[in-house]
Structure 1
Amino acid sequence: MSTRTRAQPLAGRTVVVTGAARGVGAALARAFDARGARLALLGLEGPRLAEVAGTLHHDCASWEVDVTDDAAMADTARRVTARLGQASLVVSNAGVAEGGPFAESDPQVWRRVIEVNLVGSAVTARAFLPDLLDTRGYLLQVASLAAMGTAPLMSAYCASKAGVESFAHALRAELAHRGVGVGIAYINWTDTDMIRDADRHAVLRELRAHMPAPARKVYPADQVAERLAAAAQRRKASVYVPAWLRAVQPVRAFLPPVVTRVARTELPRLERAVPFEATGLLGAGGRAADDGARDPA
C-alpha cells in the first residue's frame, strides 16, 4: 500500500450519502469530498442535491429518491455504480423527526418517521449491499443519543433510532466474516434545519432546556460531519459526537427510570405553561419527506 493510499484511503472511491440535501448529509458530502472521494448524493430534494454537488471539487452526482422505496433505491444503486463505480462506503444518514404527545400524534406522520429513519436505513443497506460485499466496504449508520436514552414527546424518533442501532448491530455480526464493516454514529443536537425548527415549538424548546448543560448544547453540522467522516475513513465500529456520549453507554440501562422520574414532575409543570401539541415533521427536510409520502410519484 502506498503512502498516499494510507494518507487518503477514500481518494477515488465511491461514497454514498443519503439525506445529502442539507444539514449533516450536505456537511458529510463536503467532508468526504475533501478526502478525495467520488460522491453519490441521495435525497428527496433534487435542486438542493444538485446545489450541494455543485460545491464539490471531485467527481459527484446526485439522485432524487425516497429511501423507503425499495425498487427506486435498487435502481438508484445500479445508476450510482454505472456512473461512479461500486460503492466502498455508504452513510445511511436520511432522517426526520416529529414531536408532541403520542396520543395526539397523526398516525401517518408517526409512521413516516419510522419509515424514513428505520425502514429507509434497511432499504439503503439492501440496495448497496452487493457493492459493499464486492468492495469489502463499510456502512455507517447514523443514530443518535435517542438510541441510548429515551425522551418524552419524541416517541417516534426515539423508537426509530433505537431500531437503527439494533439493526446495525445485527448487520455487523452478519457481515463481519465477509469483510464488510458496519459502524454506528451516536450524535447529539446538531445545528440543522430540523433542530432549528424544533426550537420554534415551545414544548420541544423547553424540553431541551431542561436537559443537563452538556446534553443540550448544539454542535455545528460541519464539526459533526468531520468527526463522522474521520471515523468512517478508519472503519470505526462506533463514533460519538460529542465524545462524552461514549460515557452514556455503560449507564444507559439507568436512564429510562431517571427520565420517567423527572418527567413525572416536570411535564405537568411545562404543560400548564405551554400546551402540548403535535409538531408534524420538522424542518425543510421533514416537509420534503411529508410531500414524498403524499405524492410518491
Structure 2
Amino acid sequence: MSKRAHPALAGKTAVVTGAARGLGRLLALRLAQEGVRCLLVGLEPEELDAVAAECGAGAAAFEADVTDARALHAVADEAEERFGGVDIVVANAGIATGGPFADTPAPAFDRVIEVNLLGSIATARAFLPALRRRRGYLLQVASLAALAPAPLMGAYCAGKAGVEAFAHCLAPEVAAEGVGVGVAYLSWTDTDMVRGADEDAALAQMRRRLPWPMNRTYAPEPAVERLLEGIARRRAHVYGQPWLRAVQGVRGALPALIGAFAPREIARLRTELEATRDRRAAAVGAGGAADMRARAGRGG
C-alpha cells in the first residue's frame, strides 16, 4: 500500500500511547513524517527515547503507565505547558493473555482488562480537556476482538469490546464541543504481541484453524496507513484491514457461528492446553514483559 500525504495533519501535536514498539511506534513514525509533533507514552524509556529520536525534532517521550491516572495527567499538563496543547490522542496501549478462563490466574486476566479498558478510559479522561480546547480527535484502537468473540482470549475480548462501547458512548457526548472520536479495528497484525501469542503452540493452532481471512497475520504497514488516513479524516470507524468493515454487518451472527465450531477445537487442544497452563501467568510478548517489569518495580 503506497504512502499518501495528509496535509491536514501538518503542525498538529499527537499523543500516542503504547508507542515504544509495534503499531504505536510505526504510527508515531508516520505521523512525524506528516509533520506531526509526537508525544510518546509507554513503559520502556530506552525504546521510547529511540522512537522519539526517529520521529525527529520536537518529539518527546514520557514514561507512564496508562493505568496511572496521576502520571497521565502529568503528561497532559506538560504537553500543554511545553507544546501549547494536543490535537490528536491515539489510545493504543494494550496487552494480551491467552488460554482458558478457568486456567488463567486472576491477576493476569484482570490486568489485561485494567490496561486495555481502564487504561484507555484514563487516557481519555486525562487528555479530553486538551482535546476540547483544540477541537481535537481521539482514536481508540480496538480490534477484531471487539467484533467477534475469540475463545481462549476472554480478557482481551472483554477489554476491546469495552473500549469500543466506551468510545461509542463518548463520541456524541463531546461532538458538540468539536471533538471527534473514532474506533480503529485490526485483525491479527504482525507485532510483538501477536508473535508472543504464537509462541504458545495451542493458541497458535487454534488461530490457524479460524476461518479465512481471520486466520492470517497481516503486515502492519498497510494498517498504519489506514489508521493515518482515519486520523486525518477524523473518521468514526477505521479498519486496519478492509475486510473488517464487512464483519461489522454480520457481527450479530458471529457468537453462534463461533459457538458451533469452537467447542470441538478446544476439546481437541485440551491435552496441550493442560500441559502448558503454567506458561500463561502473564501477558504475552515484549509489551507484556514490560508491563510486568514496571509493576514489579512499583511493587504492584
TM-score, normalized by length of structure 1?
0.95
SS at match of 2:214: helix
Give 1:34 shift.
1.1
Matched, 1:283 2:275: no
What are the residue-to-residue correspondences of 1:5-154 with 2, within 5 Å? 8-154=7-153
What are the residue-to-residue correspondences of 1:166-245 with 2, within 5 Å? 166-245=165-244
Give 1:274 shift.
5.2
Q: 2: CA distance between counterparts of 1:38 and 1:194?
A: 26
Q: 2: CA distance between counterparts of 1:62 and 1:274?
A: 39
Change (3 A) 1:215 1:83: same
Residue aligning to 1:3: none
Give 1:93 shift.
0.1
Counterpart residue type for residue 83 of structure 2: L
1:144-163 per-residue CA deviation (whole Å, 9 max, x = no partner) reads: 00001011110000000000
Q: 1: CA distance between counterparts of 2:177 and 2:84?
A: 20
Identity of aligned residues (%): 49
Is the 1:33–1:58 Cα contact (8 Å) retained in structure 2?
no
Q: 1: CA distance between counterparts of 2:160 and 2:272?
A: 29
What are the residue-to-residue correspondences of 1:249-260 with 2, within 5 Å? 249-260=248-259
Comparing 243-252 with 55-64, greater Cα deviation is found at 55-64
1:192-231 per-residue CA deviation (whole Å, 9 max, x = no partner) reads: 1111111110111011101122112212222221210111
Unaligned runs of 5+ residues in structure 1 are 1-5
Is the 2:6–2:229 Cα contact (8 Å) retained in structure 1?
no
Unaligned runs of 5+ residues in structure 2 are none
Counterpart residue type for residue 49 of structure 2: A
Counterpart residue type for residue 222 of structure 2: Q
Q: 2: CA distance between counterparts of 1:21 and 1:158?
A: 23
Residue aligning to 1:296: 298
Residue aligning to 1:248: 247
Give 1:83 shift.
2.2
Counterpart residue type for residue 222 of structure 1: E
Give 1:84 shift.
2.2
Q: 2: CA distance between counterparts of 1:273 and 1:103?
A: 15
Q: 2: CA distance between counterparts of 1:154 and 1:292?
A: 23
Counterpart residue type for residue 291 of structure 1: R
1:26-77 per-residue CA deviation (whole Å, 9 max, x = no partner) reads: 0011110111000000000010000111112342000000000111110111
For these two proteins, the number of residue pairs brought into alignment is 292
Give 1:294 shift.
3.0
Counterpart residue type for residue 39 of structure 2: A
Is the 1:113–1:160 Cα contact (8 Å) retained in structure 2?
yes
Counterpart residue type for residue 112 of structure 1: R
Q: 1: CA distance between counterparts of 2:226 and 2:161?
A: 21
Give 1:7 shift.
5.2
Q: 2: CA distance between counterparts of 1:40 and 1:210?
A: 39
SS at match of 1:178: coil
Is the 2:224–2:240 Cα contact (8 Å) retained in structure 1?
no
Counterpart residue type for residue 293 of structure 1: R
Counterpart residue type for residue 282 of structure 1: V
Is the 1:36–1:58 Cα contact (8 Å) retained in structure 2?
no
Is the 2:208–2:216 Cα contact (8 Å) retained in structure 1?
no
Q: 1: CA distance between counterparts of 2:212 and 2:251?
A: 18
Q: 2: CA distance between counterparts of 1:265 and 1:176?
A: 45
Give 1:79 shift.
1.1
Give 1:281 shift.
0.5
1:232-284 per-residue CA deviation (whole Å, 9 max, x = no partner) reads: 11100001121111101111111111111111212111224553625220111
Counterpart residue type for residue 251 of structure 1: V
- Runs (4 or more) in structure 1 with deviation over 3 Å come to 272-276
Change (3 A) 1:30 1:7: closer
TM-align CA RMSD = 1.4
